[in-house]
Amino acid sequence: MKKALALILAMIMLLCTASFAVAEEAKTLTVVAWDATTTPYLVAQKEAFEASHPGVTIEYVDVASQDYAVKTTTMLAGGDSSDVFMVKEITDLLNWQAAGYEEPLNSYIEASNYDLSGFAGIESNYAVDGEQYALPFRSDFWVLFYNKDLFDAAGVDYPTNDMTWEEYADLAEKLSGDGVYGTHYHTWLSAVVNWDVCDGVNTLIDGNYDDLAYFYELYQRLEDAGACMAYDEVKAAGLHYSAAFEDGNVAMLPMGYWFVSTMINAIKDGTCSFNWGIVSVPHKEGVAAGSSFGNLTGAMINAKSENKDLAWEYISWLAGEEGSIATATTGTRPAWVSETVAETMASADGFPTDDASKAALVPVYVGIEIPASEHSSEISTVLNEVHSLIMTRECTIEEGIEEMNERVADILG
């Protein structure tokens, strides 16, 4: 038995030394992010930070966006010591906080006298019981993209910053035909019905989903009229929204602000070549024009990091004015918005030059896509499951909404 034990130990030691051979360099900050090589703002941020902090290298750990939650959670659960993790969903942050993976930031904020005012209050979505756990560096809200060339060809006026959903649907129908779709919906729940939270009253975790019917009906009306691609096909083909819009046969596309930088690049590298613009998303009767919903993206320090001070230096820079300018140059909307930052956003190379697009940069209200709560991830699982039933018309809108109400009531207890 002793012999066997000795063998085991020897084997383990052998394995350990083999892996320690890959030692880390000093002054390298590892940052876990998704699609690091293809996302322009990550590239810009890295360049700007390294330029202003000589001797420091940012090394991205690239994770495919679809696998981000699974992968990062496994990494953290396994005790990964990467210094900074990007926070994709607020629910991730909440779960990570509960598991103790995140370094609390209040002491750093006090020590460095960090000014939070530029966030205008949205940073509180990253706080639990008064303790800040991450800083937002990006705040995307949804806007309506449109293909100016298609509108010109049809001789129809461009969409405006003040449109109701009915006006939008009429517009979509008017533009459809001859291989042109008036609008395009990505398969996500958020792309179809999240507009419900724009009124500042409804949320997606309150357990009552009756109001969603309005948006599902609107969608089905457009699908039936052939004014948008059918959900079935978009889903089965795994069609990406950028491919759909860049193909040039889709007139409008409600999508998150992050798509601006994708479009700027697509035009630059010649993937597509039409004129485009953005306007505020349509609104329901009685909801203020310019209301939208959105999500935050931030960065947190891993509690297991060995370079916490450097990591703080990085995330505070990233979320602050300098980082925000770097982010804004690529057409991405930073969470920190000052006058200089807004100016940078509008003057980003490739950003549409019309006044409506510029005006759409400043929404009057931005609701949170799914607010953080103990049950957010379970609720969104249910909503997404039922969403796919309604969208494939496997059940009627009423049945679907009833199922949502029922199952979420179960979760909320």
Partner 1 sequence: MSQIAQSNAGGIRPNHPALAVVGRVLLYIVLIAVALFTLIPFVWMLSASLKLDREVFSYPIRWIPEIFHWENYSLIWSKVPLLNYFKNTALIAILVTCIQTLTSSFAAYAFAKLQFRGRNTLFICYVATIAVPWQTYMLPQFILMRSMGLYDTLWAIVVLQSFSAFGVFLMRQFYQGIPTELCEAARIDGLSEYGIWARIMLPLSRAAIATLVIFTFVGTWNDYMGPMIYLTRDVNKTVQVGLQRFIQENSSDYHLIMAVSVCSLLPVSIVFLSLQKYFIQGIATTGLKG
Partner 2 sequence: MAQSLETNGRRLPKRKTTRYERKKELIAYSFLAPNFIGFAVFTLLPVLFSIFLSFVKWKGGSFDSMQWVGLGNYAEIFKTAKVAEKGIGYLFTKVDLGIALKNTLFYTLITVPMTLVCAMALALALNKAVKGAVAFRTVFFFPYVASMVAICVCWRFMMMKDGPINQLIMALDGSFNKSWTADSTMAIWSIILVSVWRNMGYYMVIYLAALQGVPQDLYEAATMDGANKWQQFTHVTLPQLRPTTFFASTMLIISCFKIYDVVKIMTEGGPGRSTKMLVTYIYDEAFSNFNYGIASSIAMVLLVIVLIFTLIQFSMEDKYANN
One DSSP character per residue, 272-334 reads: ----EEEEEPPB-TTS-TTEEEEEEEEEEEBTT-S-HHHHHHHHHHHHSHHHHHHHHTTT---
- Please name the residue that has the structure tokens 């892996």: 19
What is the maximal distance between C-alpha atoms in the chain?
87
Using CB under 8 A as the binding rule, whether residue 377 contacts partner 2 is answered as: yes
Tokens matching residue 8: 């085991």
* Residues pairing with 61 in the sheet: 32
Question: Smallest gap, in angstroms, from Cβ of residue 181 to partner 2?
Answer: 16
- Evaluate whether 310 touches 140 at the Cβ level (below 8 Å): no
- Please name the residue that has the structure tokens 């083909």: 237
Question: Smallest gap, in angstroms, from Cβ of residue 42 to partner 1?
Answer: 14
Residues 277 and 161: their CA atoms lie apart, in Å, by 11
Q: Which is nearer to partner 2, 155 or 413 (CB)?
A: 413
Using CB under 8 A as the binding rule, whether residue 4 contacts partner 2 is answered as: yes
Using the rule CB under 8 A, which residue among 56, 389, 397, 412 binds partner 2? 389
* Residues pairing with 408 in the sheet: none
- ∠ CA 346-351-354, nearest 5°, is 80
Using the rule CB under 8 A, which residue among 7, 28, 52, 74 binds partner 1? 74
Using CB under 8 A as the binding rule, whether residue 66 contacts partner 1 is answered as: yes
| Per rule CB under 8 A, count of chain residues that contact partner 1 | 32
Residues 246 and 113: their CA atoms lie apart, in Å, by 45
Using the rule CB under 8 A, which residue among 1, 2, 20, 285 binds partner 1? 20
H/E element holding 253? strand 250-256
Residue 381 touches which member of partner 1, partner 2, none, C-beta under 5-8 Å by kind:
partner 2
Using CB under 8 A as the binding rule, whether residue 77 contacts partner 1 is answered as: yes
**Mask: binding to partner 2, 12-51, rule CB under 8 A, as x and -?**
x---------------------------------------
Residues 376 and 91: their CA atoms lie apart, in Å, by 6
Using CB under 8 A as the binding rule, whether residue 11 contacts partner 2 is answered as: yes
Using CB under 8 A as the binding rule, whether residue 187 contacts partner 1 is answered as: no
Q: Restricting to residues 233-272, which ones interact with partner 2 according to CB under 8 A?
A: 233, 235-238
**Mask: binding to partner 2, 120-149, rule CB under 8 A, as x and -?**
------------------------------
Residues that bind partner 1 (CB under 8 A): 12, 15-16, 18-20, 22, 35, 37-38, 61-67, 70-71, 74-75, 77-80, 237-240, 243-244, 247
